[in-house]
Structure 1
């Protein structure tokens, strides 16, 4: 099997979390929201957050959502097209709290990264481009 990349990740959120998700992912992190109209009309049970040309989060409101007390899932790592200083500045401008900063090993090697947590408890690793 030759996997080339991750296509999508499904994230569950509380039923009343749609506006919170849009505010965090679109307004603070700058990602495009897709298929919100299809979600609102009931044609799809989720809407999407476009991360890159070939990658999305499907965000599905769920009446039975409960934030986990455990961490069975740790994080999704996203490479971002900016240097580390630009990444830090963008998060500061958007008032996004940084949980921690590291230089982890990933699929493309070691690079500086920050970890942030969305309003529903999902952790994102934002990995800067290296020169």
Structure 2
């Protein structure tokens, strides 16, 4: 089996969380929100956060939502085509609190600076720079 990339990741969010999700992922982080019209029309049970041309987060609003705990889910790492200082500035301007910064965490593409934020539902998001400072 020859995998080439992760196509999507499913994250559950609270049933009343779509507006917060759009505000955080769309307005604050600047990702494109897709499929909201189909979700709102009950044509599909989730909507998407477009991370890159071939990569999305499927956000599944559900009444059974439970925030991630320290015993299971840890974080999603997203490669950002920029320097970490630029990412930090953009997050500050968007009012997003940086929980932590690591200068060289190891990931699939090697080591690079990264910052960690938390979404409104308790998911930890690693924003990993792809351009060295």
- TM-score band (shorter)? over 0.9
Partner of 1:33: 33
Unaligned runs of 5+ in 1: none
Q: 1:68 Cα shift?
A: 3.8
Partner of 1:125: 126
Instruction: Count matched residues.
Output: 131
Q: CA 1:68 to 1:82, structure 2 compared with 1: closer, same or farther past 3 Å?
A: closer
Partner of 1:8: 8
1:64, 1:99 → 2: CA distance? 27
1:56, 1:68 → 2: CA distance? 19
Unaligned runs of 5+ in 2: none
Partner of 1:101: 101
CA RMSD of aligned residues (A): 1.0
Report which stretch shifted further, 68-77 or 114-123.
68-77
| CA offsets 1:55-107 (integer angstroms, 9 cap, x no match) | 00001110111224443010111110111111111111111111110020111
Q: Does 1:20 align with 2:46?
A: no
2:107, 2:69 → 1: CA distance? 27
3-state SS of the aligned residue for 2:16?
Answer: helix
State whether residues 47 and 59 of structure 2, in contact with CA within 8 Å, keep that contact through their aligned partners in structure 1: yes
3-state SS of the aligned residue for 2:87?
Answer: helix
1:41, 1:121 → 2: CA distance? 27
State whether residues 84 and 113 of structure 2, in contact with CA within 8 Å, keep that contact through their aligned partners in structure 1: yes
State whether residues 68 and 123 of structure 2, in contact with CA within 8 Å, keep that contact through their aligned partners in structure 1: no
State whether residues 67 and 123 of structure 2, in contact with CA within 8 Å, keep that contact through their aligned partners in structure 1: no
